[in-house]
Amino acid sequence: MDVRAPHRLVALAPDVTELAFAVGAGDLVTAAPATADYPPAARRLPHVEPGDVESILGAAPDLVLATTAGNDPRVIARLRQLHIAVCTLDVTSLARLTEAAVLVGELTGRQNRARELAADLSARIEAASLRAAPLARRRALYVVWWEPLIVAAPGTFHDDLLRAAGLVNLAPAAAGRYPRVDPEILLDPGLELVVAPDEPDVRSTFDALRTRPVASRLRAGATRLLWVPADLANRPGPRLVDALEALVSARETSP
């Protein structure tokens, strides 16, 4: 994709909005979704509806940043038909996060800042992984939602988060990125640890589940539950590394 000196960048997801600001291109971002709330400057941006082509065109972008997982491919295809430059990012791992930072920096003319960011993120990922290395390799799940029970499968950034923290993901590998699974998996004696994003809706669904027989191992502490900050762990942006550091710290406290 040949994009030169963009002046009006429209971001279609919170994580790519955050990434644009992190590489120093926040001054180019002219619109973002209402859900883009970080950094604070993003909250002051005009809003676009990511699923509405006309809304996006109304922001007059010369570059659109989108995500493969989070944005409608039909919208992306239509924008390209209309000769709007679109870059779609698919951050499925911590390594791909650093690659995405470099790419966004190249597209926006912020190469130096982006390389600095990528180097800093890589160094922090390595340091966190080294801290996790002496810890026991617990068998774990990353729970996205409790009822129905939805978990992060291999091939997702949540799976990579677990692995970097020294955990072995027990989620099925052949049922999609975020499969709905039988709650009976929570009774598996091989499941040692569950990681979940700490936000009110997820907490309330857990409170409903914990009274049921399938949560007996969680109630008894036979399977431990660790909560990680949701605003860090739910988005594959630069603060995903903060989530990794928080998870490793939690493991060090309760290995």
Give the pair of three-digit tokens for residue 56. Answer: 């996006």
The model's pTM is 0.94
For 222-233, the DSSP string reads SSEEEEEEHHHH
Give tens-digit pLDDT for 216-238.
999 999 999 999 999 999 999 99
pLDDT of 173:
87
Q: What is the pLDDT of residues 94-137, one digit of tens each?
A: 999 999 999 999 999 999 999 999 999 999 999 999 999 999 99
Q: Is the dihedral of CA 242, 246, 252, 255 positive or negative?
A: negative
Closest CA to 175 of 196, 156, 202: 156
Q: Sorting pLDDT into bands at 50, 70 and 90, what band is 255? A: low
- Bridge partners of residue 32, in order along the sequence: 47
Residue at 197: amino acid letter: P
In this predicted structure, the answer to whether residue 81 has a pLDDT above a threshold of 70 is yes
- Checking if the pLDDT of 1 tops 90, the result is no
Q: What is the CATH number of domain 135-253?
A: 3.40.50.1980
d(CA 129, CA 145): 26
CATH 3.40.50.1980 range(s) for the chain read 9-125, 135-253
Domain 9-125: CATH superfamily is Nitrogenase molybdenum iron protein domain (3.40.50.1980)
CB 246 within 8 A of CB 228: yes
Strand duo 167-169 + 138-145: pairing: parallel
β-pairing verdict for 138-145 and 193-198: parallel
Distance CA 31, CA 143 (A): 32
Spatial separation of the C-alpha atoms in residues 190 and 193, rounded to whole Å:
9
